[in-house]
Amino acid sequence: MGGKNGGLGASHNREGARGGGHTIGFRWVSRQRLTPLPPRAEGRRRPPPSTPMALRDAPSSCPALWRSLRCPAAELRLDLVLSSGQTFRWRESSPGAWTGVLGARVWTLVQERDRLWYTVYGEEPPGPHTDGILRDYFQLDVGLPALYRAWGAADPHFHRVAGDFPGVRVLRQDPVECLLSFICSSNNHVARITAMIERLCQAFGRRLCQLDARPFHAFPSPAALAGGDAEAKLRALGFGYRAKYVSGSARAIAEGLGAEGLRRLRAEPYAEARRVLCALPGVGTKVADCVCLMALDKAEAVPVDTHVWRMARQHYGAAPGARSLTARVHQEIGDFFRGLWGPYAGWAQAVLFCAALHKGQDAAGSGKRARRGRESCGDKKP
């Protein structure tokens, strides 16, 4: 789990990340039996929130509602990327089908051979605009196989490990959602973080739709989490000491930096973006680097938790004399990997983190050892 310069064989042109989709040649047909609306609301095709929709888990189910992008497994593996602690809003709704919330819409994604199929639940059919959302989210303008080859040539350990974990790429997430989600990662593991974020969205987020018996909600705005009673509500939801930091950072964004100000950090240098983030309540160097890497276009950011620190010592001999993971050690390890892997060092670290995470799950089996294997290490603000 868990930045940006050219190099290492990557083609990175975000403005050109549009188009290239393929849609099945059927007319758009809504599956919903629409309830008549009052005259003022006529023309609005969205069903009432209480009207459940059926989950679509394969392109063969209502093919007119599916669209696809060319995306070989070497470029993207959904099962690895969506389950390795970068995001906490997706679940495998049926074998090979991943359903979650992206951009205040509910999606189901399926990979079949060299195509990424998707369907979006709502009143609008998928099209070039939804292609663009997915291309941006998965950063499909970055050529991953060339990066793997470059990292493997520079690093024998990466070469040994990465062959079993192709298609691991870094997501480009909404900065507010990414920040508040990773504040919840402190001393926590992926399964528990996922459950916490689900409760957060249900309590504070706008309801989007219901698929079968499961409701889906948008991630709440900073203003929704900045109220005077937000911290108490979060504690009641099981956030513990993190409640103070989630509501405090949401308030700092809502009343100061603003969601757009946070997004504008994408244009700032890595060091400046990290400095601004570390000034927010509950944000230390690890959380800041996660946000820099996964939301602010800093491909050079290398989040360092105890797992990465252990890997750096065991396989690379980095920071040999360090006895604890201080901000200085974090910087030293990050600099080491940036020197080894280059300007996309954070992406290379994401591959090795994913490999360690999944190998740990396989070895752990079940119970307490499996939960430790899913751990997304805590970050204590230094």
CATH class of 14-28+51-141: alpha beta
**Chain segment 209-263, per-residue pLDDT in tens:** 999 999 999 999 999 999 999 999 999 999 999 999 999 999 999 999 999 999 9
Q: What is the dihedral of CA 345, 347, 353, 355, to 10 degrees?
A: -120
**Chain segment 7-52, per-residue pLDDT in tens:** 433 344 443 333 444 433 333 333 333 333 343 333 444 444 557 8
SS3 per-residue string spanning 128-166? HHHHHHHHHHCCCCCCHHHHHHHHHHHCHHHHHHHCCCC
Name the amino acid, one letter, at 3: G
Locate the domains of the chain by residue range.
14-28+51-141, 172-298
Of the listed 286, 298, 380, 381, which one is catalytic? 286
Name the amino acid, one letter, at 115: R
Pairwise CA distance, residues 184 & 85, whole Å: 12
Inter-CA distances, 277 with 73, 200, 288, 304, 337, Å? 34, 21, 6, 16, 22
CATH of segment(s) 172-298: 1.10.340.30
Mutual angle of helices 242-252 and 175-183, in 10-degree steps: 160
CB 294 within 8 A of CB 172: yes
Pairwise CA distance, residues 185 & 261, whole Å: 23
What does 33-51 look like in DSSP terms, one character per residue?
Answer: -PPP--GGGTT--PPPTTS
Does the annotation count 286 as an active-site position? yes
Per-residue confidence (pLDDT) for residue 358, from 0 to 100 = 85
- How open is the CA angle 171-172-174, to the nearest 5 degrees? 125
Structure pTM?
0.82
**Chain segment 136-171, per-residue pLDDT in tens:** 999 999 999 999 999 999 999 999 999 999 999 999
